[in-house]
């Protein structure tokens, strides 16, 4: 029987936590907010962006969404602020805010 | 109808395994448990079971394969001893925390060093806090009976934890004794089909087993696991009751032998209990009020029940077949003393280390322990409370 993953939150009691923390549901890793581990934060400067999309495949967390061949704002729910995208961008369209979430 | 046979402890366990006909056995040989997978693999080769036998390259792999198989939905087991169990250490905890009802036939042997292949309990006692249920057996009949009951306890929905069925290396594992076996059909019906609620090979229900738990979840997960282990106590009693109806052989959390009115009590685990019962009988014939408590279920530890059973004893000997290297007590001594303390009981407790690396346990050596207890009571002087038995000075 599938479980309601939305009920597994940081306020869950030990009596309700699933046996061995198992998750009987699929496609829910997206719900895990790993973005709050971030220390530094990338800033997208849209006017400088040439949409070359070089930043997209290098992101280890797939946190640069692409729609219709154009990149959009970062997915801050999952971006961990590693700065790789900023290093790769040839046009200075990504700068890192250091020490800020 | 029971079947009269004569089998070694290893043969008895292998027979129980054949009658259970599990889905997967992964194993790596180590003395003195090698015979168990050896005999069982012949059952596989002869087509007497339809178990998938996986000859792995180490005990770490044996336990890992059992974990994978159990998570996939297969009733799984393995057997090992001593350093083999030590090599499983890391993954023993994974089996327990993932709530996988794996059965492990442990043939107790000392941990190196000095290197030695004979019996003591240092292997299983080292693993006592890994989250597994632990049951100890005095003789071949008990190890057979305990193994038949193992999955009923481990797989119970309120428990779902791995279980270790322990017997003493060589002393029971290699010695041939008379035994009463159940019929294959009776074991099959008693143990039942394994129908897990959730398992990885269920294509209709996606499942993640053993996910990472950040600090916000880890403590809740452990507390839930503890509750399952606590539940194993009542389930052990319930299963034993059903087993008694089937076999006529009764089991509890522990066995009390002439204990009720005993002033001098011994708490002991495993085959030495048989020798100790002879000593108790001899001393009782001389009018000495001595008795014995033999541990069956060690994890979870039935502390309240044990304290209640020992409440009339004036002096108690806790017999540890392992050296814990804490310079204070052995694992059984620690458990019994804390159970007594929690029950506000303060008898004199002497903790003996005995039988390490296969050192002989005799009626004489056990009798000397009771003599010590009686002397302590008469002189009101406990003396050294952590002692070695049958040690050359
Ligand atoms: S690498 Fe820079 S310019 Fe290219 S798409 Fe990414 S942000 Fe825009
Ligand atoms: S900072 Fe790192 S994680 Fe965040 S979007 Fe850029 S590459 Fe991805």
Please report the pLDDT score of residue A101 as a whole number: 84
Query: Is the Cβ–Cβ distance between B129 and B164 less than 8 Å?
Result: no
For A74-90, write each residue's pLDDT tens digit: 999 999 999 999 999 99
Written as tens digits, the pLDDT of chain A (101 aa) is 678 888 888 999 999 999 999 999 988 888 888 899 899 999 999 999 999 999 999 999 999 999 999 999 999 999 999 999 999 999 999 999 999 88
State the best of B224, B225, B231 to mutate against chain A, taking most chain A CBs within 10 Å: B224
Ligand 1 binding pocket, CB closer than 6 Å: A 49-55, 71, 88-89, 91, 93-94
B97, B216, B228 ranked by CB distance to A10: nearest: B216
Please report the pLDDT score of residue B135 as a whole number: 99
Confidence of residue B387 (pLDDT cuts 50, 70, 90): very high
Q: Does B208 sit within 8 Å of A22, measured CB to CB? A: yes
Confidence of residue B1 (pLDDT cuts 50, 70, 90): low
The chain B residue lying nearest A24, using CA atoms, is B207
Is CATH 3.40.50.620 the right assignment for the domain spanning A33-101?
A: no
Give how far A46 is from chain B: nearest CA, Å: 35
Q: Does B217 sit within 8 Å of A17, measured CB to CB? A: yes
Query: What average pLDDT does range B144-155 have in this prediction?
Result: 98
Testing ligand 2's pocket by substitution, the residue of A37, A62, A84 carrying the most ligand atoms inside 8 A of its CB is: A84
Domain range annotation of chain A = 1-31, 33-101
Nearest ligand, CA of residue A89?
A: 1
Q: Is the pLDDT of residue B112 over 80?
A: yes
Q: Does B217 sit within 8 Å of A20, measured CB to CB? A: no
Delineate the domains of chain B, giving CATH numbers in brackets.
Answer: 3-247 (3.40.50.970), 254-388 (3.40.50.920)
**Taking the model in full, what pTM does it have?**
0.92
Please report the pLDDT score of residue A33 as a whole number: 86
């Amino acid at each position: 029987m599938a479980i309601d993953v939305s009920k597994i939150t940081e306020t869950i009691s030990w009596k309700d936590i699933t046996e061995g923390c198992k998750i009987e549901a699929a496609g829910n890793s997206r719900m895990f907010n790993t973005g709050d581990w971030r220390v530094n934060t990338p800033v997208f400067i849209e006017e400088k962006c040439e949409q070359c999309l070089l930043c997209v495949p290098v992101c280890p967390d797939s946190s640069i969404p692409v729609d219709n061949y154009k990149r959009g704002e970062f997915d801050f729910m999952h971006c961990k602020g590693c700065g790789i995208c900023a290093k790769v961008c040839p046009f200075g369209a990504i700068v890192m805010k250091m020490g800020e979430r | 109808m029971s079947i009269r046979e004569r089998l070694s402890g290893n043969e008895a366990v292998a027979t129980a395994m054949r009658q259970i006909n599990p889905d997967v056995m992964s194993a790596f040989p180590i003395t003195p448990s090698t015979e168990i997978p050896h005999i069982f693999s012949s059952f596989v080769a002869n087509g007497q079971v339809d178990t998938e036998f996986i000859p792995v390259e180490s005990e770490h792999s044996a336990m890992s394969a059992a974990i994978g198989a159990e998570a996939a939905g297969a009733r799984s087991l393995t057997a090992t001893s001593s350093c083999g169990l030590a090599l499983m250490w890391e993954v023993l905890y994974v089996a327990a925390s993932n709530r996988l009802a794996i059965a492990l036939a442990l043939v107790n042997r000392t941990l190196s060093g000095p290197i030695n292949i004979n019996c003591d309990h240092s292997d299983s006692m080292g693993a006592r806090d890994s989250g597994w249920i632990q049951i100890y057996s005095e003789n071949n009949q008990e190890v057979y009976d305990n193994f038949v009951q193992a999955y009923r306890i481990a797989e119970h929905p309120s428990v779902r934890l791995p279980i270790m069925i322990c017997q003493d290396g060589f002393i029971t594992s290699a010695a041939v004794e008379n035994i009463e076996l159940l019929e294959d059909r009776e074991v099959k019906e008693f143990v039942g089909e394994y129908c897990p609620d959730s398992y990885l090979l269920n294509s209709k229900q996606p499942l993640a087993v053993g996910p990472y738990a950040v600090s916000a979840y880890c403590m809740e997960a452990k507390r839930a696991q503890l509750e399952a282990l606590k539940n194993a106590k009542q389930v052990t009693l319930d299963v034993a009751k059903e087993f008694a109806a089937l076999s006529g052989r009764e089991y509890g959390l522990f066995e009390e032998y002439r204990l009720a009115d005993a002033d001098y009590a011994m708490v002991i685990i495993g085959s030495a209990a048989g020798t100790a019962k002879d000593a108790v009988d001899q001393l009782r014939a001389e009018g000495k009020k001595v008795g014995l408590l033999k541990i069956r279920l060690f994890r979870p530890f039935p502390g309240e029940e044990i304290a209640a059973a020992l409440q009339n004893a004036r002096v108690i000997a806790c017999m540890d077949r392992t050296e814990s290297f804490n310079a204070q007590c052995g694992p059984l001594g620690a458990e019994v003393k804390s159970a007594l303390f929690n029950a506000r009981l303060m008898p004199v407790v002497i903790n003996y280390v005995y039988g390490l690396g296969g050192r002989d346990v005799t009626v004489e050596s056990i009798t000397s322990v009771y003599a010590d207890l009686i002397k302590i009571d008469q002189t009101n002087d406990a003396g050294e409370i952590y002692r070695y038995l049958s040690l050359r000075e």
